[in-house]
Structure 1
Amino acid sequence: MTSKGHRRLLSIARPAEWSYRPAGLTYEIDLEDVQGFRWYYRMEGRYSIAIDQLSFARDFMLQSKVESLYTIVLYVTVSGDEFFPYRSLASDSITLYAPDTPFKVIYHHNMELYALTINICASFVENFLQERYPALAEAIQTAFARGPRHRFDLIRPLMYDILQCDKSAEVSALLFEARILEILSRITSAQETLAISDTAAERVTIKPEDVTALTEIAEYISDHYNRQILLKTLSSISLMSESKLKTLFKAQYGMTITEYIQKKRMSSAELLLISTDLPLAQISKIVGYANPSRFSELFRKYYGIAPSIYRAGK
């Protein structure tokens, strides 16, 4: 959540009579549309950390612009949509925001928002780069500008370390600083590696006729995602070899064919859970999984919680 987003929520919050963490401040939010708490910690001129645990009576929109801050958000649990560019928010995901980028998100009321947000001052990042990675100043800017496209799983354990820290104020301050510096190091190193792979990816040229074929494949999957789809079938439809199809599909859609099918199935399952009372076993079959346990496993992977719990919170 961006700096303005923080200020908007803090403007409707009041100091809590209890403390969520020994360090920082805890605020309670008890309004008709929003209830929960926010924990907030700030190091002036360096960074701020916030933990939000909120429930919404109806869909809730936050819209602002990141101001001279590098922002990292860990969504532990979330249901919603983000814009600029559009994507569906997923639980247990990490998103990066570069300075001066627009921020607009709608949180859905069917699931509690539990998120960790780190806002890092641009001047702090610049000093960090000058001291440790003087030759890679553009790498971290590129990494944040890529937004949700790359999730940088290497920083996930560090984010959870910050989220779960309940030490004294003095110990917390040391841990926060160390973890944030390590997060910046890992993002910079990861982006350097991605730059190498991107250079190779840029050499993949997709001809107009192949784009048309890939579009037909995507439409075929959308119509048949709940059935068994064989790679050789898609290869025949596209008039491409299986190897070429896999390479071009990932270059075009940013994910493998299997990931694309699973995403379609999970989106359909989410809609059925929210809008119907069908048993989970039946929903599992409808979206293409004969084994309900496998369906639940994949749903938990995508949304962070079991489908039964997701439905209960709708």
Structure 2
Amino acid sequence: MEIRFKSSEYNEDEVVKSFQTDFKTSHLIEDEYKNFKKGVTGGVKEFQVNNILAFFQNYTTDKPHDHTLQVVQNESLFLLQFVINGNFSISVEGENQDFITIKHNKYNLLYLPASKHLFTYHNQNKQILNIYFTESFLKQKMDLAFIKNAPDFLNAKRNKKLYSFFKDGLYLNTQLRNIVNELLNCSFDGITKKSYLESKLTELILVSLHTEKPRLEKFKKEDLESLLVIENYIKSHLNEELNIEKLSLLVGFNTSKFKTLFKEHYGMPVFKYITSVRIEKAIELISKNNYTISQASYEVGYKNPQHFTVAFKKKLGYLPSQLIKSS
């Protein structure tokens, strides 16, 4: 199996990756690409465990125009894509009608026939996790009813067409964000790291494909807009005291309505969500900005670093000090 990558952002004319059938491997394979042209900062991390290949694109361009990555594969594959930051679209070269868009904070499962695809990025900042696997992997890990009962997919597969399983993409909820975060911030080494990444990648695939599409139609448009205001406020005021009364008043909800709507939409109570976002931000500050544990804990709203350490350990199963060692 072979996948070829070509982009105007790369210094190399083409990056060629070769793999065994079904991405079979007995050990963890890791690589990183940073050979970009001037004006591009960041990198692409690759990690492969048995039957799964993942790429995490995390880079920024200094020019605001769209950028295109050409991908050529010689076998059909499934691609589970998580667009953490940015907006993204994919098409089959030469077939303008096959055009799929995945927006910021959403994900989708795509069927990619053996062909040449164009991945177009519409933002300067790109944070996209791409997970490739074959149909045989799905047969090993989960019930294939959602494939067998999808006549549109079967027709696309027969005609070797690009196919999107979720029309507008699914919401990247906090549960999935936490799994992605744990995956990308693994602090283990050696065989333990291989086992951990393999379990997290499998968990991410299974949970995302069993997560029902949020039934947004049961929410009023103005309520959804109010929840978004609250979400943005939480993320931009993590170092402040956040309570139900304060957040409710922001949009004129009574506390009962606020708690009910928030849990229905985000899948968890308000304070559990706030804790998740605080820890996610702290991990970023420690691993990418070289903050100390005390600095990071204060920045995300913990006056006592010990309280932060307890919350961190309870949520992720390891101490923040291990994150510093890994960094």
TM-score (norm 2): 0.47
- Normalized per residue, the structure richer in strand is 2
Q: TM-score, normalised by structure 1?
A: 0.48
Report 1 or 2 for greater relative contact order, CA contacts < 8 Å, sequence distance ≥ 6. 1
Larger fraction in helix:
1
